[in-house]
A and B are shown apart, each in its own frame.
Chain A
Amino acid sequence: MSVRQTLLAAATACILAVAMAPASAQTLRYANQGDLKSLDPYTLNESTTHAHLGHIFEGLIARDKDLKIIPALAEKWETPEPTRWRFHLRKGVKFQNGDPFTADDVVFSAERVQKKGSNLQTRIPSGTKVVKVDDYTVDFILTSPNPILNSQWDTWYIMSKKWAEANNAVEPTPAAATTPSFASLNANGTGAFSVESHQPGVKTVFKANPNWWRKPEHNLKEIIFTPIGSDATRVAALLSGEVDVIEPVPIQDITRVDSSQNAQVLKGPELRTIFIGMDQVRDELLYSNVKGKNPFKDIKVREAFFKAIDIELIKTRVMRGLSTPSALMIAPQLFKLSGDFKRPKFDPDGAKKLLTEAGYPDGFEVTMDCPNDRYVNDAAICQAVVGMLARIGVKVTLLAQPKAQYFAKVLKPGGYQTSFYLLGWTPGTLDSHNVLHDIMGCRDDPKSNRGEANLGGYCNKKVDELAEKVLQETDTNKRDLLIKEAFEIAAKDFGYIPLHQQALAWGVSKKVKLSQRADNQVLLYWATKQD
């Protein structure tokens, strides 16, 4: 190309770009703090990624606006035996490249999601046999009964077998891949939108899928997604009308967005429970001046800590009203009987008395581990807790770190190196069993993965027994009573100090109508935009 030709081409491209740029009717522009890193739906098990990919892909089931399980690619299902689930697939569904959706794709996706390099291996219990009965029927044969088998399948997205094989994408994309995977830059699902272009970390454009099997609730022709990491810039982009939806709105900016002319904040309780844990395993705490014994092994000390925390003050001052104090380690939306539980009252004098009875009239010193970029105002919550515990004589040294360092220290691979910590947890299955097993389960069985996120090692055998029963019980009412019993035991033990569920805050232009779901997935196929 000569210089002149290049210039000519550039000028033409320039004119085209200008000509094509506007026409923003029904184009929704959305900015999130986080990035859409890979389009491969099995690479990262994280809710923002699932939400993004939920525009392109679908699972056998879906969850509606209230998180209830509804049919999606499977029209209906039944469990003829406790260990066999049969799914009847929807007919006439097509992938975005035109391939029909059949049982082969389900079997293929089941294999792929369990392969090495997938981060969603637990979506299907190991040992499960996936059998194609006919083109539109698939059986899942389990090794043991599991009443919540499909609870996480709204984010186990079905991929096309033919497409994956043709594009060398049969293996999930592991982080350590030496060659770039086709599936991390391209996607082919059955969902409401297809990917028009994807520049990781810069911009992703979704286009409405005209052949979607559902009748669209949205009126969009296009979604332009941009990650904007800086809080101030994200809010400015919303206020100036350059984007229509942002997530999240930082707490301190909520009033300003609400008082602006063209945007408002959608608020609602989130499913994540923020709580405080204490090391109850070691005979001597790693980070404390108490030597030769572990004060947290004494239930009175744990109760004293619980009662010393003024949760209402945290709510009004630190969270600016945007939190729901919690008596339980699970959000009320996820457990029907949660109304039966009450938080013990804030009682600093009683706490002080309990500490004296436990043999620490002058308190003691302990270090608290806290992330500072993971949850809403996480480090500020910890600072408030430090102040409150000081009132009963406990001197807490706060170690607030970025999540990269924090998790490396406190999780199992780091050796649970903490005495006292703050953590947030959303049960991936949206079911209490996950909390009983991962957070409250005893860590004593090295072969099992029970209690792996139980960083303080709270342990009560009765809770474990009940958790086993919960896993097997298929009658919902009986199951709820078992769960309640287990939560009651844990509450009496003061094994954890649940704090609150933080609030969701999405910034939405007044031109846009949007449904907010409590799991913080921004799903724009429910969005409508006016001109």
Chain B
Amino acid sequence: MLAFTLRRAIQAIGVMIAVGVIAFSMFRFAGDPVNQIVSLDTPAAEREAVRKSLGLDDPVPVQFARYFGNAAQFKFGVSYQFRQPVSNLLMERMPATLELAACATVFAMVFGILMGVYSALRRDTILTKFFQAVSLIGISLPTFLIGILLIYLFSVTLGWLPSFGRGDVVRIGWWTTGLLTLSGLKALIMPSITLGLFQMTLIMRLVRAEMLEVLRTDYIRFARARGLTTRAIHFGHALKNTLVPVITVAGLQFGSVIAFAIITETVFQWPGMGLLFVQAVQNVDIPIMAAYLLMVSLIFVTINLVVDILYTIVDPRLRSTIRRPA
């Protein structure tokens, strides 16, 4: 078990290094950060001075070594735009992103499972057809379009919900939360729906397919034969067995919800890490881009690692193959 975890951890570090190398080589094409720091009419001599102070005139291998040396110690330097340490900026923005991602996932799970179960049990009702139409929209419409449509409907036309930002937040230690204020909760609704819609449709389709599969199996027939109530069969036996793959997928998707919050955050001006990243790309703020990419890859790698370990705990068959590798 320990050897397995170690092996996976080493693989994870390999992935992180690969991401770092790719990220670094991409920064060469992102443009010249100096142009974003100084104005257009800045004399060339002054530009050179800025370039030098950023270490951009060093040979590429030197820059690469410095970048990696610092990243290994979790030192990401100071943002070119904000003149603040990147780690502070990310920590400040992290609660917003995590809260949004969590709300979106909860939304996706609750509605996805409910709609999935309903459409599996009542296959021919109008509501099922409606759910399937919604799921088609969720799969095919791009996120930013959904976000803008929601804004125009609920903010501009109806005036019910705020069109941007987090509302009032409450600070608890270093964490800021919008869950404790009315305006904060209102502000969460549309971004969560926008971000979670895709996951919701995914879960709904998964639950529906799994449920239909399970309902055809022998043990459900036996359960019926034993005279159990339909309710006990559907929710006690069938649903429970469909949830294993659903939880796996939802767990893995949590990483991508965080990573793809970029678009949702841009549309709703949600002050999270994704928005910070988009602004960094526009302004060639390399320290922020580097830190964000490494952080996202760390999240993915960690989630995968945890899921792998969980599998071995859940499924004894996997454990035995790990102990005696073929």
Q: Is the A/B pair a real complex?
A: yes
CA distance A230 to B147 in the complex (A): 11
Contacts of B282 in A (CB 8 A): 373, 402, 404
Tell whether, in the assembled complex, residue B156 and residue A236 are in contact, meaning their CB atoms are under 8 Å apart: yes
Tell whether, in the assembled complex, residue B152 and residue A229 are in contact, meaning their CB atoms are under 8 Å apart: no
Tell whether, in the assembled complex, residue A413 and residue B47 are in contact, meaning their CB atoms are under 8 Å apart: yes
Contacts of B2 in A (CB 8 A): none
Tell whether, in the assembled complex, residue B267 and residue A232 are in contact, meaning their CB atoms are under 8 Å apart: yes
Q: Write out, one digit per residue, whether chain A residues 178-190 have a CB within 8 A of any chain B CB (1) or not (0).
A: 1111001100000
CA distance A38 to B82 in the complex (A): 6
Q: Does A202 contact B (CB under 8 A)?
A: yes
Tell whether, in the assembled complex, residue B82 and residue A226 are in contact, meaning their CB atoms are under 8 Å apart: no
Tell whether, in the assembled complex, residue B180 and residue A174 are in contact, meaning their CB atoms are under 8 Å apart: no
Tell whether, in the assembled complex, residue B183 and residue A21 are in contact, meaning their CB atoms are under 8 Å apart: yes
B51 → A minimal CB distance (Å):
7
Tell whether, in the assembled complex, residue A44 and residue B267 are in contact, meaning their CB atoms are under 8 Å apart: no
A186 → B minimal CB distance (Å):
12
Given A180-B88, A226-B269, also A18-B182 (CB < 8 A): yes
CA distance A38 to B148 in the complex (A): 30
B65 → A minimal CB distance (Å):
18
Our count of residue pairs bridging A and B at CB distance below 8 angstroms stands at 194
Tell whether, in the assembled complex, residue A236 and residue B163 are in contact, meaning their CB atoms are under 8 Å apart: yes
Q: Write out, one digit per residue, whether chain A residues 220-261 have a CB within 8 A of any chain B CB (1) or not (0).
A: 000000111110110011011110000000000000000000
CA distance A428 to B180 in the complex (A): 47
Tell whether, in the assembled complex, residue A184 and residue B83 are in contact, meaning their CB atoms are under 8 Å apart: yes
A521 → B minimal CB distance (Å):
15
Q: Does B43 contact A (CB under 8 A)?
A: yes
Please tell me which one of the listed residues B37, B266, B269, B278 contacts residue A175 in the complex, with CB atoms under 8 A apart: B37
- With both beta carbons as reference points, the residue of chain A lying nearest to B49 in the complex is identified as A116
Please tell me which one of the listed residues B33, B41, B88, B155 contacts residue A242 in the complex, with CB atoms under 8 A apart: B155
B97 → A minimal CB distance (Å):
13
Please tell me which one of the listed residues B39, B50, B55, B276 contacts residue A174 in the complex, with CB atoms under 8 A apart: B50
Given A18-B182, A177-B83, A453-B41, also A240-B278 (CB < 8 A): no
Within 8 A of A (CB), among B12-44: 29-44
Q: How large is the interface on B (under 10, 10 to 19, 20 to 34, 35 or more residues)?
A: 35 or more
Q: How large is the interface on A (under 10, 10 to 19, 20 to 34, 35 or more residues)?
A: 35 or more
Contacts of B54 in A (CB 8 A): 175-176
Within 8 A of B (CB), among A91-134: 116-117, 119, 121-122
Contacts of A239 in B (CB 8 A): 156
Q: Write out, one digit per residue, whether chain B residues 151-192 have a CB within 8 A of any chain A CB (1) or not (0).
A: 110011001001111001111100001001111000000000
A438 → B minimal CB distance (Å):
6
Given A226-B269, A233-B268, also A425-B279 (CB < 8 A): no
Please tell me which one of the listed residues A18, A21, A180, A201 contacts residue B78 in the complex, with CB atoms under 8 A apart: A180
CA distance A485 to B162 in the complex (A): 56
Please tell me which one of the listed residues B33, B163, B170, B182 contacts residue A13 in the complex, with CB atoms under 8 A apart: B170
Within 8 A of B (CB), among A3-40: 6, 9-11, 13-14, 17-18, 21, 31, 35, 37-38, 40
Q: Does B207 contact A (CB under 8 A)?
A: no
Q: Write out, one digit per residue, whether chain A residues 465-505 have a CB within 8 A of any chain B CB (1) or not (0).
A: 00000000000000000000000000000000000000000
Q: Does B283 contact A (CB under 8 A)?
A: yes
Q: Does B271 contact A (CB under 8 A)?
A: yes
Contacts of B267 in A (CB 8 A): 230, 232-233
CA distance A405 to B33 in the complex (A): 10
Given A176-B78, A226-B269, A233-B269, also A402-B31 (CB < 8 A): yes
Given A18-B168, A201-B271, A402-B282, also A242-B163 (CB < 8 A): yes
Q: Does B132 contact A (CB under 8 A)?
A: no
Q: Does A312 contact B (CB under 8 A)?
A: no
Contacts of B99 in A (CB 8 A): none
Contacts of B279 in A (CB 8 A): 35, 201, 229
- With both beta carbons as reference points, the residue of chain B lying nearest to A448 in the complex is identified as B43
Please tell me which one of the listed residues A17, A181, A203, A229 contacts residue B83 in the complex, with CB atoms under 8 A apart: A181
Tell whether, in the assembled complex, residue A404 and residue B82 are in contact, meaning their CB atoms are under 8 Å apart: no
Tell whether, in the assembled complex, residue B83 and residue A40 are in contact, meaning their CB atoms are under 8 Å apart: yes
Q: Does A151 contact B (CB under 8 A)?
A: no
Tell whether, in the assembled complex, residue A174 and residue B53 are in contact, meaning their CB atoms are under 8 Å apart: yes
CA distance A14 to B80 in the complex (A): 35
CA distance A278 to B243 in the complex (A): 65
Tell whether, in the assembled complex, residue B164 and residue A233 are in contact, meaning their CB atoms are under 8 Å apart: yes
Q: Does A199 contact B (CB under 8 A)?
A: yes
Tell whether, in the assembled complex, residue A6 and residue B83 are in contact, meaning their CB atoms are under 8 Å apart: no
Given A237-B155, A449-B43, 8 more A-B residue pairs with CB atoms under 8 Å apart are A9-B172, A17-B181, A44-B39, A229-B278, A229-B279, A236-B164, A402-B31, A404-B36
Q: List 30 A-B contacts (CB under 8 A).
A: A11-B180, A13-B180, A18-B183, A38-B83, A40-B83, A45-B41, A45-B42, A46-B39, A117-B53, A119-B37, A119-B39, A119-B46, A122-B43, A175-B50, A178-B78, A180-B85, A201-B82, A230-B267, A233-B269, A236-B156, A242-B163, A403-B35, A404-B31, A407-B35, A411-B40, A412-B44, A428-B41, A434-B41, A452-B43, A452-B44
Chain A interfacial positions (CB closer than 8 Å to B): 6, 9-11, 13-14, 17-18, 21, 31, 35, 37-38, 40, 43-46, 116-117, 119, 121-122, 173-181, 184-185, 199-203, 226-230, 232-233, 236-237, 239-242, 373, 402-405, 407-408, 411-414, 425, 428, 434, 438, 449, 452-453
